[in-house]
Structure 1
């Protein structure tokens, strides 16, 4: 069985050296929790409705641990948030973890990764709200902005 950090690493590795925003990481792990957690030993996180939809603060603790362990790097963007990118070591470890998952779960992680990487911030938040309206409860996000 994997732990939450290993699932995070496997999920981020689906994008190779792609840089992830905080919203992309939160929504990627939320989708994994909602759709394949049971088949990979989860649930791992406790997502609650927040400003921009599903949020679990422990996701950021795990991301910081990846940075500390040399599996990811962080860069503060002009928008004042941190983007995270796996290092070569992180991509390699993540790919090994992904290969240990059942094929249907690994495939879902790949598709979910492509999905979150392919949308703008607004598109991503809107699509999560459309699919999971209960996660809109505490939102500060306004559609179309």
Structure 2
């Protein structure tokens, strides 16, 4: 499996109870992992290409990879309806036991071990921050990605 596809698995593996609430949070944490992580030697095919979007940096490829991991039984997703009138839903992504086992097997590769270490650091630093504050942090550090934001 290529490094890029391992990033969401590593992030879930590093997360408390192996889950992440919300698509936007997932996007921001992966973005920060790539921008601030010590992931030396990664090629453009090893990373997600983010573009400025409604809530800052966005990569549709990340959603494609999450869908692939869900189909493979590595990640479980659930959707909670928050506001029926506005059709607002919240996604939760959880690493399944099969996903945890898969990541642990991949960690044997030293390059992937560093990816998991960076994911753990990102979760420690940003994991407990409320989403609006996390978005503000991303916008202040990387203003180019806020230019198409619906929040600005």
- Give the TM interval when normalised to the shorter protein: 0.7 to 0.9
**Structure 2 counterpart SS, 1:115:** helix
* Structure exhibiting the larger radius of gyration computed from Cα positions: 2
Task: Kindly indicate whether the alpha-carbon contact (under 8 Å) linking 2:56 and 2:149 is maintained by their aligned counterparts in 1.
Answer: yes
Q: Report the TM-score when normalising by structure 1.
A: 0.83
TM-score normalised per structure 2: 0.80
Which ranges of structure 1 fall in alignment gaps of 5 or more residues?
none
1:8 and 2:18 correspond: no
Superposition map of 1:1-145 within 5 A:
2-15=2-15, 17-20=17-20, 21-36=22-37, 39=40, 41-43=42-44, 44-79=47-82, 80-98=89-107, 100-102=109-111, 105-142=115-152
- Cα distance change, pair 134–54 in 1 and its aligned pair in 2 (3 A): same
Please, which moves more after superposition, 77-86 or 45-54?
77-86
TM-superposed CA distance for 1:96, in Å, is: 3.6
The whole-number CA distance in structure 1 between the counterparts of 2:39 and 2:121 is: 17
Q: Provide, for residues 11-40 of structure 1, a one-character-per-residue CA deviation record: whole Å limited to 9, x for no partner.
A: 221115333121121112111221347525
Distance in 2, matches of 1:140 and 1:129, equals 12
Which sections of structure 2, spanning at least 5 residues, go unmatched? 83-88
